[in-house]
Chain A
């Protein structure tokens, strides 16, 4: 087990390195970084001063090492707009995003997994066809469009919920539902197909032969086993979920990290963009790591290798 975790940790190193490389070259894509960080009418002296201050006059390799070192400490420089460290802007917005993400995950797992279980158990029934159609539909509709439709129906027409902003639980309902929509569809589909795989296994027949009730057979022997691979799928979807976070926060003016990065892009506030991109990629890598470790905890075949 410890071996496995350590080996898995080692595997994340190249990914982390890749993230730092991408973040570093991001600001050098357009040639001269001073174009990005300084106003267009900045004087040549100001540019030189900037280059010296941020080490841009040094060789590229040296710059990279310096960037790497700072990035690991969370130092991406100060926001061009607010003058504060980019990382503390990010930290300020983090709470709202985490709140949104947790609510989303809660809805997605709470709806998607049971839907997949029911759909697989009653396969080819009307219920199954309904779940599958809804899932296919849910995956085809872009997150932002869900958001707009939700606002139209629940805020504009029914006037039940606010169109955006943050506050109590009522503000969380629409954004979380929107963000969860694609994930629910995906989880239902994947859970259904892994359930069908597991249901064909011999040990399920053994469980029935023992005289267990259908509910116990399905939940304890099928769903539990089917959930392990689904966990990995959830983790892989974190990447897609992040795109969704950015979109959803924009649609509902949710004051989180996603909205921060879009505002930073509009304002050409590159240190903040870098910080958020780095942070999101880091979360993605870590969530995959976590999923692998979790499935090892749940699956003794991996645990005792």
Chain B
């Protein structure tokens, strides 16, 4: 019974390893078109990165000449070293590196916590509705449209009342709160799209709330969880607003330093250092995309094997 109930989902998942559309072996016009489209799109996406990389390898006098797309006449790695190691952010001239560990700490704690919380929400909202649960969800979605700054004042007062203002747990809570609307939506829609027989069968077998969650739902939600990881890692790693306010002085994230390096009102702008610093700061989310991208496919394949 159980295995039968699982079958639609597994075939759905196995679709990832089945070929789609035209057969790939032959080099048809359609095939060329597909690649042409992707390559042109990729060029569009890469253009700003190209500008950033070549700018980061130029000296300031060459940047002032304004040849935006040209390769540097003289390649220098100075800006990269400076951005990482010696650029000043206020009095400290240690570049980006001191905030790196803080950002890592905040991200490593906040990403799993916020995703697990949202996953349970989505699961409960799909299979274990209670009176008012849909209303709560509606409020949550509504909350996704509120500008952050509007919510900041009450949150500061609340967190300082419970003694968590300007602490590491405080910032984790804040990221969990603001990640919740979209992540809950993500997981809710995912679980709602699973075949209901799956859940029904498990219930008939006598499994409870947590049992079904851990044994059936959690393993199945890998592909969508990876989307969640992408969203959260990026959001939390790049967060500046909450970091400056809620993390406390000891846990100031890397973006505060990035911002200190790239934003200046009355000083000289070192564009090459700015570009290098931006790329360096984005390194972690980028790495996550590359690594999780592989799991993205494998996760689906694993789901198929499990069935």
- Chains A and B belong together in one complex: no
What residues of chain B have their CB less than 8 Å away from a CB belonging to chain A? none
What residues of chain A have their CB less than 8 Å away from a CB belonging to chain B? none
